[in-house]
Amino acid sequence: MKTVLITGCSSGFGLDIARLFLARDWQVVATMRTPRDDVLPPSERLRVLALDVTDPQSIRQAVEAAGPIDVLVNNAGFGVASPGELTPMATVRQVFETNTFGTIALTQAVLPQMRERRSGVVVNVTSSVTIKALPLIAAYSASKAAVNAFTESLAVELAPFGVRARLVLPGRSPETRFGDNARAHMQGMDSEAYAELVKSVFAHFADTAALTTKSQDVAEAVWRAATDPSCPMRLPAGADAQAWAAGLR
């Protein structure tokens, strides 16, 4: 029975990814910064571990506790909403520390066992904003674009060892808490210089007819990336992400 380790499982995409792998008879190591036992169905195939991807000791302890890992899903991250000019450098560093450096650090910790076994898959969940530029999320987009570049180069390096690396690019998902969490890192939205731009962006988000992504779309895309060797390097997840990737919007 194969084992998947997933980060950021307390809610949103990570939670549904964990649910799907459990439903399909995998052993699941669901990691969270603050572990909770009430968000996933009880199962003998489930372990919930503490993991802060910005803490090297936490990474080391989680990887040791997890044991052999067949698939690593780097999903943990948070959003930042702010005009690029007005994003404090402390916030830029914070978003890169989690979204980019945390992903790289955990991947580095897991790869030796995969390389030695000559099998394994790394699935990095980034964002469709790396397909189509959007305003007010420059720092967030940069943090995810960096993971794309890291993953694509990594895939070439790992191929001789029988290890795959793939990307899943979700679209906007109002049904998750991602937007609410991003509000904690929202700055500069009251700027007079960017008032019209902010107004237009929020009007678009309020459009209920706009294409969006469902959490289940992302879970299915991660499943395909993890289990289908013919899966493309970049896999858009969700109606909006797929439309952007096809150049339709």
Q: What is the DSSP letter of 102?
A: I
Domain ranges of the chain: 3-245
How far is CA 18 from each of CA 47, 73, 110, rounded to the nearest angstrom? Answer: 11, 10, 18
Active site amino acids: 140
The token duo for 119 is 């099998």
| The amino acid at 147 | V
The token duo for 31 is 């990691």
| DSSP per-residue string spanning 115-152 | HHHT-EEEEEE--GGGTS--TTBHHHHHHHHHHHHHHH
Give the CATH fold of the 3-245 domain.
Rossmann fold (3.40.50)
| DSSP per-residue string spanning 15-45 | HHHHHHHHHTT-EEEEEESS--SSSS---TT
CB 7 within 8 A of CB 31: yes
First vs last C-alpha separation in the chain: 41
Report how far residue 216's alpha carbon sits from residue 15's, in angstroms, rounded to the nearest whole number: 10
Q: pLDDT tens digits for 120-140?
A: 999 999 999 999 989 999 999
Q: Range with the lowest mean pLDDT among 38-42, 60-64, 200-204?
A: 200-204
Alpha helices in 118-235 (DSSP H): 138-158, 178-183, 195-205, 215-227
Q: Percent of the chain at pLDDT above 90?
A: 83
Report the mean per-residue pLDDT for the chain: 93
Q: So what's the pLDDT on residue 144?
A: 98
Q: pLDDT tens digits for 153-177?
A: 999 999 999 999 999 999 999 876 5
pLDDT tier for residue 180 given thresholds of 50, 70 and 90: low
The token duo for 151 is 């993953």
pLDDT reading at 182 higher than 60: no
Predicted TM-score of the model (pTM): 0.94
Q: Range with the lowest mean pLDDT among 37-51, 58-72, 193-207?
A: 193-207
Q: Range with the lowest mean pLDDT among 30-39, 78-87, 105-114, 195-204?
A: 195-204
pLDDT reading at 249 higher than 60: no
